[in-house]
C-alpha cells in the first residue's frame, strides 16, 4: 500500500493554545502544534522547512509538564494508539503499545487479557509514550523492569531505531529521553513490554493491603489490586479534570544513608525506604507537610489539601505562578532540612 501524504496523516495548527493539552490547565501557546496519526509519516512531517531551526517538544497527554510561558517552536503529538499481543512464551507475555495510547487504558487492556504485572501503575495519568520518559512507578512497582524495548524515531539520523532496556538509561523517575529537553534525539513511537506470566502481586506498599481488605478482597488477583490502587489514588489525588494538577510534583529525594540516618535522628517519624546500595529514599510529602505547606494557597496556585506533593491550579493560575509556588515549597524545605526537592514534571 503506498504511503499516505502527510496532509492525511497529520494536523497542523498555528499559534495553537495548549490549555487543553496540559493537565494543569494553564494557558500557553505554541507556534505550531502538529498531531501525527501514524509514525510512518514522521520523516515527511519533520522535513517541512518552516520549522527548521526551531525547538521541538514531543508532548503526550501533557500530564507531566508545566508551561511557564509560550513555546516558540513545534509541539508534536503522536495520536497512534494500537495495542497488540506479540508472540510470547509460557513464562512471559509480550505486548506492544503505540505511544499515543492512554496509559491507564493500556493497563485495563492488559487486565482484560488476563495479563498482570502493571496493575500497581493503574490510573497514572499520561500516555504510553510518556511512561518511559519519566520511568513511572507507584505503590512498589517501577516501570523499567517491565520494558523489553522502546521503538523510536531517531531525529539525528532521520531513521527509525530500537533501544533495548539497557540503552534507555533508566533511573529513578528519569531516562535518556527525559534528559533530552527541547532538543530531543529520540521520539518514542511505541513500547514493547515483557511481563512474567506468573508475576507475583506487589502488596507491601503502605495502604495497599488495607485497601484490599476494605474492599472485601480476601484473595486478590491483578484486577482487584488495580481496583484498590484506583480507589487509593482517587481518594488522595485530585482529578485533573476538576482541579488542574500533574500528580506528584516533587520526587522523593534519594540521599546517602549517613545523611538519612542523621535526618531520622533529628526528625522521628521521617518515612524512609530502601533505594539501592549506600542510599535511601525519604518521603518528600512528609517534609512538605512538616513545614506546614499542605493546603497552602497563593491566589489561584496552591498545594492540595489531600496530598502535600500535589501542586494545583484552583482556576486561572498561570504556569509562572504555579512554578513560583513550587519554588517557595522547595526553598522552605531546603532551609529547614537541607534537602533539595527536584520536580517530577518537565518545566518548559
pLDDT over 70 percentage in the chain: 97
Assign 5 a pLDDT band (cuts: 50, 70, 90): very low
Residue 67: CATH number of its domain? 3.30.43.10
Q: Same domain for 46 and 110?
A: no
Q: Same domain for 32 and 104?
A: no
pLDDT at 180: 66
φ/ψ of residue 154, rounded to 5: -85, 105
User: What is the CB-side half-sphere exposure of residue 108 using CA atoms within 13 A?
Assistant: 9
Q: Tell me which residues are annotated as active site.
A: 173, 248, 344
Domain boundary among 162, 196, 230: 196
d(CA 311, CA 329): 10
Q: Same domain for 126 and 35?
A: no
d(CA 26, CA 23): 8
Domain count, the chain: 3
Q: Please report whether residue 210 resides in a domain.
A: no
Residue 317 grid coordinates: 493560575
Q: Please report whether residue 209 resides in a domain.
A: no
Query: pLDDT tens, 242-290?
Result: 999 999 999 999 999 999 999 999 999 999 998 989 999 999 999 999 9
Q: How far is CA 28 from CA 17, 69, 125, 217, 316, in A?
A: 6, 6, 20, 45, 12
Query: pLDDT tens, 176-199?
Result: 998 766 678 999 999 999 999 998
Supply the pTM of this predicted model: 0.87
Domain boundary among 78, 98, 117: 78
What b/e readout covers 231-260, taking b as 16+ CB neighbours within 10 angstroms? Answer: bbbeeebbebeebbbbbbbbbbbbbeeeeb
Q: Same domain for 95 and 29?
A: no
Q: Please report whether residue 328 resides in a domain.
A: yes
Give the mean pLDDT of 311-333. Answer: 97
Query: pLDDT tens, 113-161?
Result: 999 999 999 999 999 999 999 999 999 999 999 999 999 999 999 999 9
Q: Same domain for 103 and 64?
A: no
pLDDT at 8: 53
d(CA 26, CA 18): 8
Q: Please report whether residue 229 resides in a domain.
A: no
Host domain of residue 299: 244-347
Q: Which of 42, 28, 222, 5 is nearest to 129 (CA)?
A: 42
- Asked whether the CA dihedral 139, 134, 93, 82 is positive or negative, the reply is positive
Query: pLDDT tens, 71-124?
Result: 999 999 999 999 999 999 999 999 999 999 999 999 999 999 999 999 999 999
Q: How far is CA 121 from CA 100, 116, 140, 181, 325, in A?
A: 17, 11, 9, 25, 28
Assign 2 a pLDDT band (cuts: 50, 70, 90): very low
Q: Same domain for 101 and 183?
A: yes
Q: Please report whether residue 30 resides in a domain.
A: yes
Amino acid at each position: 500500500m503506498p504511503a499516505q501524504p502527510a496532509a492525511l496523516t497529520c494536523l497542523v495548527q498555528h499559534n495553537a493554545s495548549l490549555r487543553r493539552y496540559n493537565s494543569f490547565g494553564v494557558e500557553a501557546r505554541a507556534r505550531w502544534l502538529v498531531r501525527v496519526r501514524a509514525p510512518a509519516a514522521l520523516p515527511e512531517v519533520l522535513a517541512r522547512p518552516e520549522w527548521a531551526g526551531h525547538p521541538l517538544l514531543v508532548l503526550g497527554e501533557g500530564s507531566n509538564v508545566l508551561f511557564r510561558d509560550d513555546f516558540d517552536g513545534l509541539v508534536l503529538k503522536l495520536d497512534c494508539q494500537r495495542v497488540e499481543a506479540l508472540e510470547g512464551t509460557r513464562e512471559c507475555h509480550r505486548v506492544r503499545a503505540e505511544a499515543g495510547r492512554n496509559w491507564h487504558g493500556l493497563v485495563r487492556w492488559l487486565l482484560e487479557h488476563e495479563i498482570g504485572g502493571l496493575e500497581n501503575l493503574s490510573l497514572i495519568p499520561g500516555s504510553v509514550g510518556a511512561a518511559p520518559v519519566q520511568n513511572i512507578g507507584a505503590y512498589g512497582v517501577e516501570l523499567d523492569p517491565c520494558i523489553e524495548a522502546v521503538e523510536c524515531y531517531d531525529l539525528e539520523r532521520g531513521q527509525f531505531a530500537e533501544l533495548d532496556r539497557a540503552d534507555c538509561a533508566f533511573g529513578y523517575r528519569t531516562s535518556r529521553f527525559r534528559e533530552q529537553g527541547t532538543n530531543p534525539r529520540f521520539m518514542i513511537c511505541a513500547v514493547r513490554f515483557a511481563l512474567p506470566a506468573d508475576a507475583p502481586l506487589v502488596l507491601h506498599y503502605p495502604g495497599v493491603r488495607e485497601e484490599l481488605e476494605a474492599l472485601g478482597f480476601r484473595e486478590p488477583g491483578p484486577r482487584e489490586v488495580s481496583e484498590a490502587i484506583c480507589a487509593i489514588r482517587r481518594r488522595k489525588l485530585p482529578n485533573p479534570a476538576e482541579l488542574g494538577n500533574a500528580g506528584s510534583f516533587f520526587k522523593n529525594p534519594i540521599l546517602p544513608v549517613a545523611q538519612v540516618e542523621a535526618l531520622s535522628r533529628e526528625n522521628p517519624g521521617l518515612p524512609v525506604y530502601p533505594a539501592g546500595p549506600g542510599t535511601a529514599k525519604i518521603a518528600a510529602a512528609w517534609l512538605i507537610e512538616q513545614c506546614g505547606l499542605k493546603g497552602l494557597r497563593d491566589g489561584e496556585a496552591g498545594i492540595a489539601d489531600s496530598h502535600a506533593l500535589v501542586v494545583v491550579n484552583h482556576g486561572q493560575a498561570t504556569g509562572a505562578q504555579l512554578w513560583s509556588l513550587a519554588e517557595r515549597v522547595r526553598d522552605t524545605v531546603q532551609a529547614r532540612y537541607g534537602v533539595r526537592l527536584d520536580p517530577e514534571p518537565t518545566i518548559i
